Structure 1
Amino acid sequence: MTPILKRAVRLCMLSIALPLFSVSANAADWPTDTVRLVVPYAPGGTTDVLSRKVADLLQKEIGTVVVENRPGAGSTMATGQLARGGRGADHNILMASPGHTIGPVLYKKLPYDPVKDFRFIRNVIEIPNVMVVPANSPYQNVEEFIKAAKDKEMTFSSAGVGSSIHMSGELFKTMTGTKMTHVPFRGSGEALPALLSGDVDVSFENMPTVLSHIKSGKLRALAVTSAEPSPYLPGVEPLSKLGADLGLADFVTTAWFGLIADDSMPDAAVERLQSALDKVIGDQGFQDFVAQIGGEVASQEGDAFRDYVVADVERWQGVAGQAELQ
């Protein structure tokens, strides 16, 4: 091989190796700025509490992580801002929840697609909702509540239009033929005082928001919304198990919480986040936290998480159809 040919081969091999080195270097270098973890609800609810726990542990792995609350329009306002990208887009992540998959079902003209416009980093936890009434409520069980709600108007609170809490209440109302008026708030942190004080009759809240109040006796759990009982609320049956006589045989709604980013986030950044989140989720402190709030650690990341979200959109489309919200 001539010297000129040898030099050409070396240059060719170098041109192939440099992009690979660049990707590896980018993965090691990211983040180069503060990471913003956006919470699309007001402080105090499940999404907010979980995000702050994740941020505390995540910054041990990748550096400074700042939590920003941007409530509004059932999480669609903050999600739309994320989808638009802009300055620092590759350092913005959002704690998505069922609002991400319910919003497009309820609002047909959103400026983003819930699947195509995002990178799906990792699902973090899954939880049931709980049908709860104030401690001074006269209703001791679901049957008593349904009977009363067929005769008089009841109110149910939620963390906002399009939340899993809202949709659970609408589905319950439709399936049981009860009279219930939705009272939305800007997050569970704002909705909870109204429930505790008895200003609203019932809620289908995320378990982490109400678990401690159930244990303290300030709230009464009538049922869980998952298909199976929760180990954290022994003796509290799923709505679907309470019998066809109540019209609830097919009632199942649950909530998930996972991190997403704008679709412009580089692969290297996504991979770095996934690796860091694996360590966060494996941390004993996080495992204890999840148990305390009555959740279960989720396992989907990347394409598997994306497929999970696609299926959730379809599920809520079915719920919205049953509740005649479309």
Structure 2
Amino acid sequence: MKLNRRNFLGWLSAATVFPALSVNPARASAASAYPAQPVRMVVPFPPGSATDIVTRGLAKELQAEFKESFVTENRPGAQTTIGTTYVAQSAPDGYTLLVAALSFVSSPSEFKDLAYDPVADFEPIALLGTFPIVLMVKADSPFNTVEELLAHGKERSKPLMGGYGSSSTRVAANRFGQLGGIPVTEVPYKGIPNAVTDLIGGFIDFTFVDIGNALTHAKSGRLKALGVTSLEASPHAPDWPPLANVIPGFEVTAWLTVLAPANTDAAIIEKLHEAINRCLQSPAMGPTLATAAMTPPTVALPDLKPFINDEVQKWAQRFKEAGIEPQ
């Protein structure tokens, strides 16, 4: 089945539950002993990111399910390619997994000499959920709306400084300037928490933050939210308006997914897929998902690879529209 974005988002709103795949007896036997040793879940972002928060919560639930250690391992850097390359080159035995975000599918559009292919070198296991990201400024900023920030950007003599710490926030910062009609200097960071630190310190004018961390920073009084990148307000922050209300066509939907190196035993992939989906629906996982303000869909295993392929193509087009050339 060839997925398009509309079909995928339709699944999310409908919370469709797909039937489990039938399991070949020989493959079931091969996976029956799995896991027999600790499993590493590699996060290519620094601690404190949305990916890190969700992974740690999921690892705890998987450990309870399998009675074996699931260890979160942060390997940030180079726009997530360091950690992703590490997993791509790991043994396809199910003991080294990747928890990836949008940068996973946008990296081919950012780097000329990427050491991996997100479609050919990985097997998707489960989609963890989707969430918007949030445009934020300092709490004491004079700007309380997107309109006010855009007006300021048009009036001042130099570009606004927009920080980003991931591929999705990079495109968001670029599109904010491009579609909003203001000059923006994009400032790269190792991760979103690093960009937040400089925003609080007054070194940049704005940044985009995953909604889970945005809620935390807004509640603490350190940052102020001006709007979300989804086409509709998030139920977790209904008072934060969509940027598309002011900037037509502005939309970025982030997601998280778990993957294994290519050629990992299909029975292990199925076993993990089913276990992860059970964990996402468990009450114990609720607080973690609430912290990340993430909605967990249940998507059939055969549909994950076409989804990843479609996302690669979609983000290639967005980078082209943004004028961002591979480096």
Q: TM bucket by the smaller chain?
A: 0.7 to 0.9
Partner of residue 236 from structure 2, selected from 232, 238, 261: 232
SS of alignment partner, residue 296 of structure 1? coil
8 Å contact from structure 2 (residues 211, 293) kept in 1: yes
Alignment partners' CA distance in 1, 2:53 and 2:287: 14
Alignment partners' CA distance in 1, 2:55 and 2:214: 17
SS of alignment partner, residue 256 of structure 1? strand
Cα deviation code 1:36-69 (max 9, x no counterpart): 1000111111111111111111111121111111
Query: Cα–Cα, structure 1 residues 32 and 228, in superposed 2: closer, same or farther, change >3 Å?
Result: same
Number of paired residues? 299
SS of alignment partner, residue 80 of structure 2? helix
Query: Cα–Cα, structure 1 residues 21 and 236, in superposed 2: closer, same or farther, change >3 Å?
Result: closer
**Aligned equivalent of 2:41:** 37
Structure with the bigger percentage of helix: 1
Query: Cα–Cα, structure 1 residues 72 and 216, in superposed 2: closer, same or farther, change >3 Å?
Result: closer
What amino acid is aligned across from residue 223 of structure 1 in structure 2?
A: G
**Aligned equivalent of 2:164:** 158
Alignment partners' CA distance in 2, 1:43 and 1:192: 13
Structure 1 alignment gaps of length 5 or more: 1-19, 243-247
User: Which of structures 1 and 2 has the bigger CA Rg?
Assistant: 1
Deviation at 1:263, TM superposition (A): 0.7
Deviation at 1:299, TM superposition (A): 2.1
Q: In the alignment, is residue 169 of structure 1 matched against residue 173 of structure 2?
A: yes
What amino acid is aligned across from residue 155 of structure 1 in structure 2?
A: M
Deviation at 1:314, TM superposition (A): 2.0
TM-score by length of 1: 0.87
Structure 2 alignment gaps of length 5 or more: 1-23
**Aligned equivalent of 1:205:** 209
Deviation at 1:255, TM superposition (A): 0.6
8 Å contact from structure 2 (residues 51, 99) kept in 1: yes
**Aligned equivalent of 1:10:** none
Q: In the alignment, is residue 147 of structure 1 matched against residue 146 of structure 2?
A: no
**Aligned equivalent of 1:129:** 133
Partner of residue 75 from structure 1, selected from 52, 76, 80: 80
8 Å contact from structure 1 (residues 120, 260) kept in 2: yes
**Aligned equivalent of 2:70:** 65
TM-score by length of 2: 0.87
Q: In the alignment, is residue 304 of structure 1 matched against residue 310 of structure 2?
A: no
**Aligned equivalent of 2:10:** none
Cα deviation code 1:218-253 (max 9, x no counterpart): 2111111001111122222111122xxxxx211100
Cα deviation code 1:293-325 (max 9, x no counterpart): 322112224221222212222221222122111
Q: In the alignment, is residue 26 of structure 1 matched against residue 30 of structure 2?
A: yes
**CA-atom RMSD, angstroms?**
1.7
8 Å contact from structure 1 (residues 44, 190) kept in 2: no
8 Å contact from structure 1 (residues 132, 221) kept in 2: yes
Work out the percentage of aligned pairs sharing the same amino acid: 31
Partner of residue 117 from structure 1, selected from 106, 114, 121: 121
Cα deviation code 1:74-97 (max 9, x no counterpart): 1112212222234x7431101010
8 Å contact from structure 2 (residues 133, 209) kept in 1: yes
Deviation at 1:28, TM superposition (A): 1.4
SS of alignment partner, residue 203 of structure 1? strand
Alignment partners' CA distance in 1, 2:197 and 2:219: 17
Q: In the alignment, is residue 220 of structure 1 matched against residue 219 of structure 2?
A: no
**Aligned equivalent of 1:319:** 318
Q: Which shows bigger deviation, 99-108 or 148-157?
A: 148-157
Q: In the alignment, is residue 258 of structure 1 matched against residue 296 of structure 2?
A: no
Cα deviation code 1:231-280 (max 9, x no counterpart): 122222111122xxxxx211100110010010121012111111211221
SS of alignment partner, residue 79 of structure 2? helix
Alignment partners' CA distance in 1, 2:47 and 2:88: 22
**Aligned equivalent of 1:273:** 272
Q: In the alignment, is residue 51 of structure 1 matched against residue 55 of structure 2?
A: yes
8 Å contact from structure 2 (residues 80, 103) kept in 1: yes
Deviation at 1:104, TM superposition (A): 0.8
Deviation at 1:21, TM superposition (A): 5.1
What amino acid is aligned across from residue 307 of structure 1 in structure 2?
A: P
Alignment partners' CA distance in 1, 2:300 and 2:98: 14
Quick one: higher RCO (CA 8 Å, sep 6+), 1 or 2? Answer: 2
Deviation at 1:111, TM superposition (A): 2.2
SS of alignment partner, residue 95 of structure 1? strand
What amino acid is aligned across from residue 164 of structure 2 in structure 1?
A: S
**Aligned equivalent of 2:187:** 183
8 Å contact from structure 2 (residues 54, 292) kept in 1: no
